[in-house]
Amino acid sequence: MSKTKQDPDYALKVEHAISEKYGAETVQHPQSDWNPQKEQEYLEQLRLLNRKLDKISEKLEKVEVQGVLISKKLLNKDSNRSCPVCSTYSFDTRDNVYMTKYTCCRTCYYQWVEGREERWATGWRPDKGENK
Ligand SMILES: [Zn+2]
């Protein structure tokens, strides 16, 4: 931390920057003018702020996929949810098994794989659009 040595006002500047960013309350000593009522108000404000932030981040974290709002987290967690065979985007967790095992959705499994697993395993795939 050589910066502290170079600039004796560094700590003051940091404190100032913090108070500018988060409000003077943050850097004040908690005891200086703290009372239960203030704490109540503070907590209430904090609660409202958090609720606002939650709503904002909720909106930001959702993306529209085929007209449906989906949480980005969900997309990131399972980015490979689009069936490579029929291009259908699936949110059905029951498809996961088929996606993992046969690289296609449940519908495609029934249509193209069931009973013909060997053909599927050799890499055979239906022509795109054929299953419409
Ligand atoms: Zn499919």
**pLDDT (tens digit, 9 = 90+) per residue, 76-88?**
555 567 888 998 8
Q: Where are the domains of the chain?
A: 7-53, 79-121
For the segment 30-54, the average pLDDT, to the nearest whole number, is 80
pLDDT at residue 3 above 60? no
Phi-psi region of 23 (alpha: psi -120 to 50; beta: other; left: phi over 0): left
Residue 70 backbone phi and psi in degrees, to 5? -125, 140
Q: How far is the CA of 129 from the centre of ligand 1 (A)?
A: 11
pLDDT at residue 54 above 70? yes
pLDDT at residue 102 above 80? yes
Higher pLDDT, 86 or 67: 86
Q: Which residues surround ligand 1, an ion (CB under 5 A)?
A: 83, 85-86, 104-105, 108
pTM over 0.85: no
pLDDT at 5: 58
Q: How far is the CA of 66 from the centre of ligand 1 (A)?
A: 15
Round to whole Å and give the CA distance between 116 and 118.
5
- Is residue 89 a contact partner of residue 66, using CB atoms and an 8 Å limit? yes
Question: For residue 119, what pLDDT band results from cuts at 50, 70 and 90?
Answer: very high
pLDDT at 131: 45
Mean confidence (pLDDT) of the chain: 76
Could you report how far apart the first and last alpha carbons of the chain are, in Å?
Answer: 66
Residue 99 backbone phi and psi in degrees, to 5? -60, -45
